[in-house]
Structure 1
Amino acid sequence: MAYRIGVVGAGALGLLYAGLLGAKVYTRTVEQAELIDVRGGVTVVQDGRETRVAVQAVPVLEANFERLDLVVFTVKSYQLPDLAEVIREIPMQTPLLFLQNGIGHLEWLESLGHETILVGTCEHGAGKLDGASVEWRGVGRTNWAVFRGNLEAGLRDFLMGQTGFPFVEKSDFEAMLYDKLLINAVVNPLTAVLGVRNGALIHNAFFYEVFEKFGREVADVLMRDEQWLERLTAVCEATAMNYSSMATDVMEKRRTEIDSILGAVIRLAKQQGKNALISEILYAQVKGLEGEYLQ
């Protein structure tokens, strides 16, 4: 059976998921939807090879979600509340998959009335080339877990059967999100403030000292196991030439997800009565950088 997937959000990850799943993509602007239609779909570039996938594009405010089997949200966490009215138009029995960084959106998800809600983390690296093209810069996995409800067996099999673009089911959504939050909370703010690629955090001795101390603080708050440093280092090594999403946001003068990522860690630390001084300093630095260009 062919399942009908919709992707809300046409940034780098949205274009990647739409292109690799052959999904309908819902864009913020009419202009981007028109560009995708004119191009005949989404172009995925990997190692210099271009693959164009026929994808239908629709401005999200003109969307009709009646005939979809799954809707995937790849927008930033702070953009979700602005989509509340759009999400209410999606039939309550249609499963929703949210792929936001951090954990700041979880409380908001509780307010939705949909029967089945999934949350996930993305390990892929992607860079938006233009409104209809994306570069697949790192192959990883999409980890997902049930936040509420149950996923129909056929749709589960469809997701798990994606060769070359694997989906991995996790039994504990909180553990899954906290594992990714550790990486995002340490790598993203540091690279954003320092203006460096991920690899610099482990290859520059001075940066590494901060990386290790900051990582220890965050791992303690998130109660991660003793292998946290090994995993963090491996991620930085594997993505050494990449800029983190937050570093890119700062360089391109966009709003970051610092509140959903490091802000969430600081809130947890306060609940636990723990010191999170390095987190608070880096949080203030990123907010300060945003304040220089956001009105």
Structure 2
Amino acid sequence: MSLFGHAEALTKHWKDCSDISFETLKQWERRCIEAGMKSKTEKLVPLVAESRLKEWLQTQSPFISIVQEELSQLTGRIATPHFFIMADREGIVIHVEGRPKILRDIRHYGVQEGTSFSLEHAGINGISASMQTHSLFVVQGFEHTLQMFRDWSCICMPIYQDNEIVAYLDLTLRTGSNLCFPVALLEKAVHVIEAKWQASNPQSRRTQIYADFEQFGLTAREKEVAYGWLHNQSALQMSTVMNITEGTVRNLLKKVYVKTKVSDKGQFMRKFLA
């Protein structure tokens, strides 16, 4: 059964073109015209040359793997014609997911890795509108600049890491489909991708933990000790790395326990690694 078969009357909490001022929409249209955009364009031209596409995608491979894992599960459960587009923060496609026939069809229009969906290269669409508003955005039918997209509805949501947008995920389906459940589905997919990416990215995880420490007023030294303690470093190991005495490390750790209101390592680990 299609996941889109349900008709739950969920509250609209996304943005669409009706939420954008007339002046802003005109500004978007002017940018399209100035960039040479024509509504009758029949095929998008990739920005990334084929000769360097493989190398470019390789730099994105860890993130693409996480996206593929999540989207492959969703694609197999959705009966309604659809496809997913993952674009980087510049709007350049890094992955397309869907059933083989649809992927063949949309490739005919240039919807493929290396193609840009920014305002200047693909006009008003789900990805470009999400890029402009930094929000969950829906573009339907004739709201698209390009005629070739006017049989589709595009739902796009930014993907964040460390409070910065790192990518955009678009779910495109036939115009006329009920959007409430697809929006909820897309939101869930984005949240799962964000969580998996953070868990697989040590630097991102460190940034998040340090932000949690900040809420308890830990000093720079206390954060360093607290982070090492979370990762099972001994007081002796930390003293060597930080070039301070083992006793100083233990005193800092006591202060960390007081400030974070825990009494043992188990409580400490559960508080910050749960």
Higher gyration radius (CA):
2
| Structure showing the higher strand proportion among its residues | 1
TM-score (norm. length: structure 1): 0.21
TM-score (norm. length: structure 2): 0.22
| Structure showing the higher helix proportion among its residues | 2
